[in-house]
Structure 1
Amino acid sequence: MTARPDLTADTWPIAVCMHGFAPIGRDGIALHDAPAERWDALFAEVASLGFTELELADSHIRPADLEPSRRAELLSIAGGHGVSIISVHVQRQSVLQPGREDRNLDYAHRTVDAAAEMGMSVFSTGLHHPFSEAQKRALWFWTAPGWKDPDDADTRAFAVDRLRELGKHAQDAGLPMALEMYEDTYLGTADSAVQLIQEIGLDNVGLNPDIGNLVRLHRPIEDWREMHAKTLPYANYWHVKNYARDEAGDGSWFSSTPTSMELGLINYRQVVRDAVELGFRGPFLMEQYGGDSLGVCATNRDYLRTLLPRS
């Protein structure tokens, strides 16, 4: 990643996620297809919370599938509120999804092109798949079983080839590519995620060490300190969120619930300091499930700025 030693607590890019906005409006129109007025209201709310950066989630708006005129309109509306769209996150469209491998790869390539055209700073993706029916029914999707990448060397090698192809495209477009850690994929443990980055072998491809995705699982997990120690040297973009976690000493039960960055299991005061000392200079993305997602993201942003260097 390109070093940016000038970043301080006041200037570090901290984006908000789109979880707080409905992907489908009350009128049944998807946010992706919504008129300019609805987009304007979205960015007005983002700006009212003090955010100047936003991550575009393709669950809400797919830049690859927007006409060029609508991409320009989206940028104009965001800019009118002083908000920059700094990244796009392609989620649940894995290059390993059965029956959609080639389609998803093509879509990811088109998203890289759209991100570059729109002046974004990061292309983010991962290997997680669409929700299973059980996950769709669950209060919290991470408490139900979903896709698992096969323990198969050929499939893993196929994933590496596909992700390397995407990474080279992003590199040619002048973008870093971040791969999000997520359970039961080849990015589902610290060792496997680091190995995957090493196998891809491109300087612009790094990790999004979203270890909150793993802390929330209702099962045994790796120690959060060890996971961060292994993955932070490879981080180039970072989704941050936290969960309160409890578990029985005999391993008979586990529970978790979303909370603020300051109150959850992960000690962000420690891991943010460690990341900066290791050279992390990528943007942060505030993420929150449940409740007032946007409000908690704003609270977390203010807390995060107290952890970043003042000069």
Structure 2
Amino acid sequence: MALTADTWPIAAALLQFPAVKRDGTVVQEADASEWVATFREVKESGFDAVDLTDSWVRAGDLSSARLDELKGALDEAGLAAPSLSAIRRSIIDAANWEENLAYSHRTLEAAAQLGQTVVSFGLHQALTPAQKEQLWFWTVEGHQDPDPTEHPEVWNAAVTRFRELGRHAEDLGLLMSLEMYEDTYLGTGASSARLAEEIGLSNVGINADVGNLVRLHRPIEDWWSIFEQVLPWTNYWHVKGYQRDENVAKGLYTSIPTPMESGVINYREVFKLALEHGFQGVICAESYGGDGLSVSAANQAYLRRQVLPKQDGYALGVSNVTQRSSRVA
């Protein structure tokens, strides 16, 4: 049965919760009661589910016993955790790819123990010192993957290593999703679709986080065109809003985080297209800056109120929804 606005799993990202608290507490090593407190805050904001974003706690680096504690903390707070996002651990990082690949395998094992549905990986790397100095890190260029035409061996490594992870995920009964991010092989619609196609596994798709591209302070690919190319492959989705302004004549481009319904991406229309392609995946609501958790909660309310289907198989003019292929969760 197709998901509806009432039943669709929408998870809160944990971007607002640091790995080290102001009092010096290292959350990775903290007592489980610290985890419960965070999960209760998420629950009280209006969410029933959470994405275990590894910028907060690295599930892949927890022992089996500690993973059980993490699951217990979720249960105590009354939250589901259908998804896990592992970020900035690129498997083609020239210096750290072996460590990152091993970490990614451990993360899949952890997700399976936690009973999760989908794990998201990307090719974005650690923030540069210059990026860390900015209010918004995306206003300064960071790592760029090498041109695949000039360095086919790097592209092939991405395909091969993601395929290895995808097969591991498949053995564990998990979906795997690849997060879109600027200046990586997941940085354009065409490149992302090509990467997913060459990996060639039915459980590996794309995390259509087009917000990561819309926020750039430079010319960008048309956001609708990106969605047209990647939604047939999308099996998980980070969603967030950005206002964007362009003065092409003067070469000025700017963006700022905003609630989804106020941003430049028309999610009402994009979700119609997603449903036409059979999208039934977990959604993760994100927002940067200020009280991002509350903005994420507002994004969830907007999706359930205005965007997602109100009844089985129908949403705002979209009917006869069909499944593109087994690639779509």
TM range (shorter): over 0.9
SS of residue in 1 equivalent to 2:124? coil
Of the three residues 39, 51, 54, the one matched with 1:55 is 51
What is the alpha-carbon distance in structure 2 between the residues aligned to residue 149 and residue 96 of structure 1?
A: 9
Deviations 1:219-258 (A, max 9, x none): 1101111111111111000000010000113251100000
Q: 1:10/1:190 Cα in 2 relative to 1: closer, same or farther (>3 Å)?
A: same
SS of residue in 2 equivalent to 1:58? coil
What is the alpha-carbon distance in structure 2 between the residues aligned to residue 228 and residue 105 of structure 1?
A: 28
**Are 2:84 and 1:88 aligned?**
yes
Query: Which stretch shows the higher mean deviation, 112-121 or 65-74?
Result: 65-74
Q: 1:137/1:113 Cα in 2 relative to 1: closer, same or farther (>3 Å)?
A: same
1:269 positional shift? 0.4
Deviations 1:183-235 (A, max 9, x none): 00000000000000011000000000100000000111011111111111110
1:27 positional shift? 2.3
What is the alpha-carbon distance in structure 2 between the residues aligned to residue 23 and residue 101 of structure 1?
A: 22
8 A contact 1:220–1:251 mirrored in 2: no
8 A contact 1:17–1:286 mirrored in 2: yes
Of the three residues 126, 131, 136, the one matched with 2:127 is 131
SS of residue in 1 equivalent to 2:70? helix
1:175 positional shift? 0.5
Name the TM-score, length of structure 2 as normaliser.
Answer: 0.92
**Are 2:41 and 1:12 aligned?**
no
- Alignment correspondent of 2:172: 173
Query: Which stretch shows the higher mean deviation, 28-37 or 271-280?
Result: 28-37
1:22 positional shift? 2.4
Structure 2: which 5+ residue stretches go unaligned? 312-329
Of the three residues 23, 26, 32, the one matched with 2:22 is 26
What is the alpha-carbon distance in structure 2 between the residues aligned to residue 201 and residue 260 of structure 1?
A: 35
Query: Which stretch shows the higher mean deviation, 295-304 or 242-251?
Result: 242-251
- Alignment correspondent of 1:203: 202
What is the alpha-carbon distance in structure 1 between the residues aligned to residue 3 and residue 246 of structure 2?
A: 39
What is the alpha-carbon distance in structure 2 between the residues aligned to residue 31 and residue 214 of structure 1?
A: 30
- Alignment correspondent of 1:278: 277
8 A contact 2:138–2:215 mirrored in 1: yes
Query: Which stretch shows the higher mean deviation, 231-240 or 5-14?
Result: 5-14
What is the alpha-carbon distance in structure 2 between the residues aligned to residue 32 and residue 272 of structure 1?
A: 36
8 A contact 1:248–1:254 mirrored in 2: yes
CA RMSD of aligned residues (A): 1.0
Report the residue type matching 1:263 in the other structure.
Answer: S
8 A contact 1:126–1:180 mirrored in 2: yes
**Are 2:139 and 1:143 aligned?**
yes
8 A contact 1:181–1:188 mirrored in 2: yes
- Alignment correspondent of 1:225: 224
8 A contact 2:51–2:83 mirrored in 1: yes
Report the residue type matching 1:92 in the other structure.
Answer: R
What is the alpha-carbon distance in structure 2 between the residues aligned to residue 276 and residue 72 of structure 1?
A: 36
What is the alpha-carbon distance in structure 1 between the residues aligned to residue 280 and residue 262 of structure 2?
A: 24
- Alignment correspondent of 2:154: 155
Of the three residues 61, 64, 81, the one matched with 1:68 is 64
8 A contact 1:244–1:263 mirrored in 2: yes
What is the alpha-carbon distance in structure 1 between the residues aligned to residue 49 and residue 10 of structure 2?
A: 6
- Alignment correspondent of 1:37: 33
What is the alpha-carbon distance in structure 2 between the residues aligned to residue 99 and residue 224 of structure 1?
A: 33
What is the alpha-carbon distance in structure 2 between the residues aligned to residue 153 and residue 140 of structure 1?
A: 32
